[in-house]
Structure 1
């Protein structure tokens, strides 16, 4: 899915995020606050305001809430148009109430920011902009035209002109700032949530593939001897029954079915014994397994394994966890996609850490996004800095996000940079030698992953349901 397509999809889904019950509940709180404020102003402070007309405006909101309860189920999710109209009603109702109670001299004018903030979280951008402009227009009107508030002695309560102007400016800034802030935070939360769902699906898929490989290997190991015996006995029977065609065909059928069982074991798996030997492997084996789907894509993938010298540590054994294999596979895929001819995979280890470096000979990470690598759905790029550096498809950074999330879950730390292995720094300061990703695990974390891994064949374990 391209970045523009994802943004359109997200905008379409945004409109049905809010339930009618949520807006109705918020309006009940607003009604209670409005009624209380007018009651206190008239009863305890003896302020002269149009209390009767204000009560009518509040009563209209009460009627709207009751009608929504009768006309719609309480769990109804509002469409884009319905939510938009409800928020327009709230802005107009509040503006009319402020017109009757002093305009911007009423400190409760700041509540106009609430409907715009709600719109920023649940509506599309064009609807949010319209509601923001509506709120700004209504506040601008009532700042000039409104019914005054007076004391019992008839003294009109008006703020100084400078203070009224400052309050108006503060409201305008508040409407814009809160709308932008709420929209940005909400969008990032939902984007991250969707990316994490994609990560979970990728991990589940890799786990199923790993389980399938273990089941097939264990089943082939367990059934290999009896199938070989059946084939041997059937061959002997065929020799002895060569002069009896009917029985000869039955013996031949037995041997062919034994061969068929062997072929089935190589192509599918079912619930069976768990081969715990497959739970761990040498580091190089795990890395090569991760890279295997991308070795024949027209680019050379070179493996450089640290040599074992006298007295040095032997190559470590690491757990064959799905998140490690899938994470490394995504990183290698990204390197192959962006490389010119070669991808280098360096495998090193020490007493304290295990490091895998994946480097390509492409143009490197674009300077405008290198600080955001690992974030999902990276869409904005500065073409003046980056140029045409992407392969022939439109990506959003989700693959790198999944890889980073899975590998960090396994205890790894990832570092993204640009290399000068094949080039030099350009005048902008960006290296031209290709992208480099370092994946480092502390040895103790990998050792913990192996502590619960025994060897041998485990008990029968049912697999999860296959899609």
Structure 2
């Protein structure tokens, strides 16, 4: 997240970068621990086959390769702190070694005849979950090359019979194809799932920052009241002392002008603190709870000067106009949806609000191009564009604002639906609905930023 300013924010989505962020880099300790597990398993297998089953194969060459892997682990652990997070290049080098070393072991112990050849795809899967796409592709190509070489060139599989164990070429070909397709499918699937998880985490973090910012803004009046209260006592003391100095100083005294100025400025400070106190109490009294139409007018007002007609229509039911708490999440969420409508509308955005004894429904409709039909089911996912945008700020958008709005409104208990207007009308309709019970719970739990 680069910045949040003026209500709009810039996000650096990890799914679109060529390197991983600091928080997403793999820890060196994670890879070294995995390699120690691999060293232990390789050693146990070699010792069991050589001196448990007494099957002939170049055991000392294999143990030498295992010792090389252990030596690399020791060097890494002593030369770098365990908490170090690896760059994409360093992680790629270590994972490439984890492909080459077992490939050489398999070269000495049967190639694709050896069932342990499936472990060649493990480093690629690890990379697909945490590394950039180019790193995953490079390691995948290296693993495919290793598997292909092992299909044609390798020493015999350790076996008790002199003839040895040899699989038919057709079976080896099928096994090679199965390994490669499993590698490709697993790498693509895991990379997509991990990228979506990182994207969602970034978007949720942006949501939290936006909500926190809105809460801080609405809490400024409370801070002003606290400051006025704390400064009131020392300012009163200064004022008393200044007035006493004025009484005891003659009009002809050279310091009289300075003393009069001090009295005037202390009175000015008291007036300023008095206004801050009254502003805070007024905000608490009149703005903490608003009729729904007043809340919508507060949401709509910043978007009226962009050449788009904004119309708010009320459709009251049998109940009186509901009064709701001034929730920062609701204000931001509704504001973002109205802003999107203004950005995409050709000339008009209509906001219809209905209420009755069961709840409140707000529908925001524009006369723009509407949502793409293939995107309707995915609306609310971060970092995807939904419509061809006529943005007053000059950008196409990545869908993050709508994701944040949807998240904040759903946290307030709202249900959202997205649709296109029925023919012959064009444009999109976003409907937000709350039940009266939800607002009652908000009142009882003080779910507002000023509380």
Query: How far apart are the structure 2 equivalents of 1:261 and 1:192?
Result: 50
Which residue number in structure 2 is paired with residue 10 of structure 1? 17
Which residue number in structure 1 is paired with residue 442 of structure 2? 449
Which residue number in structure 1 is paired with residue 139 of structure 2? 131
When residues 267 and 17 of structure 1 are mapped into structure 2, their CA distance, relative to the original with a 3 A threshold, is farther
When residues 219 and 23 of structure 1 are mapped into structure 2, their CA distance, relative to the original with a 3 A threshold, is closer
1:283-322 equivalences under 5 Å are 283-307=292-316, 312-322=318-328
Query: How far apart are the structure 1 equivalents of 2:34 and 2:278?
Result: 55
When residues 9 and 181 of structure 1 are mapped into structure 2, their CA distance, relative to the original with a 3 A threshold, is closer
Query: How far apart are the structure 1 equivalents of 2:406 and 2:187?
Result: 31
Which residue number in structure 1 is paired with residue 284 of structure 2? 275
Bigger mean CA deviation after superposition, 191-200 or 274-283:
274-283
Which residue number in structure 1 is paired with residue 220 of structure 2? 212
Query: How far apart are the structure 2 equivalents of 1:353 and 1:269?
Result: 34
When residues 138 and 282 of structure 1 are mapped into structure 2, their CA distance, relative to the original with a 3 A threshold, is same
1:303–1:344: 8 Å Cα contact kept in structure 2?
A: yes
CA deviation profile, 1:287-328 (whole Å, cap 9, x unmatched): 2222222122222211111246xxx21011112111111111
User: In the alignment, is residue 363 of structure 1 matched against residue 369 of structure 2?
Assistant: yes
Which residue number in structure 1 is paired with residue 204 of structure 2? 196
User: In the alignment, is residue 65 of structure 1 matched against residue 73 of structure 2?
Assistant: yes
Once the two structures are TM-superposed, the CA of residue 84 in structure 1 deviates from its matched residue by: 1.2
User: In the alignment, is residue 174 of structure 1 matched against residue 174 of structure 2?
Assistant: no
Query: How far apart are the structure 2 equivalents of 1:271 and 1:32?
Result: 68
When residues 347 and 58 of structure 1 are mapped into structure 2, their CA distance, relative to the original with a 3 A threshold, is same
CA deviation profile, 1:405-452 (whole Å, cap 9, x unmatched): 0000011011011113xx52xxxxxxx611110001121111111235
When residues 363 and 214 of structure 1 are mapped into structure 2, their CA distance, relative to the original with a 3 A threshold, is farther
Query: How far apart are the structure 1 equivalents of 2:107 and 2:284?
Result: 77
Unaligned runs of 5+ in 1: 224-243, 425-431, 462-467
Query: How far apart are the structure 2 equivalents of 1:271 and 1:162?
Result: 82
Please state whether the residue corresponding to 1:64 is helix, strand or coil: helix
Greater length-normalized contact order (CA 8 Å, ≥ 6 residues apart): 1
TM-score for both structures, normalised by structure 2: 0.83
1:205-284 equivalences under 5 Å are 205-213=213-221, 258=267, 262=271, 275=284, 278-284=287-293
User: In the alignment, is residue 418 of structure 1 matched against residue 426 of structure 2?
Assistant: no
Which residue number in structure 2 is paired with residue 394 of structure 1? 396
Once the two structures are TM-superposed, the CA of residue 388 in structure 1 deviates from its matched residue by: 7.2
Once the two structures are TM-superposed, the CA of residue 165 in structure 1 deviates from its matched residue by: 1.7
CA deviation profile, 1:189-230 (whole Å, cap 9, x unmatched): 111111011000110111112222456689999x9xxxxxxx
Which residue number in structure 2 is paired with residue 163 of structure 1? 171
1:14-93 equivalences under 5 Å are 14=21, 17-93=25-101
When residues 114 and 258 of structure 1 are mapped into structure 2, their CA distance, relative to the original with a 3 A threshold, is same
Please state whether the residue corresponding to 2:20 is helix, strand or coil: helix
Bigger mean CA deviation after superposition, 251-260 or 409-418:
251-260
Unaligned runs of 5+ in 2: 3-8, 232-250
Query: How far apart are the structure 2 equivalents of 1:61 and 1:304?
Result: 72
User: In the alignment, is residue 95 of structure 1 matched against residue 88 of structure 2?
Assistant: no
Which residue number in structure 2 is paired with residue 325 of structure 1? 331
User: In the alignment, is residue 403 of structure 1 matched against residue 405 of structure 2?
Assistant: yes
Query: How far apart are the structure 2 equivalents of 1:121 and 1:165?
Result: 28
1:421-432 equivalences under 5 Å are 424=424
User: In the alignment, is residue 183 of structure 1 matched against residue 199 of structure 2?
Assistant: no
TM-score for both structures, normalised by structure 1: 0.81
4+ aligned runs moved over 4 Å, structure 1: 1-9, 213-221, 244-274, 386-391
Please state whether the residue corresponding to 1:439 is helix, strand or coil: strand
RMSD of equivalent CA atoms: 3.7
Once the two structures are TM-superposed, the CA of residue 161 in structure 1 deviates from its matched residue by: 2.4
When residues 106 and 271 of structure 1 are mapped into structure 2, their CA distance, relative to the original with a 3 A threshold, is farther
CA deviation profile, 1:253-307 (whole Å, cap 9, x unmatched): 7667656655677689999999365432211122222222212222221111124
Bigger mean CA deviation after superposition, 136-145 or 12-21:
12-21
CA deviation profile, 1:366-399 (whole Å, cap 9, x unmatched): 23322211111115x7xxxx76766631210010
Query: How far apart are the structure 2 equivalents of 1:318 and 1:256?
Result: 42
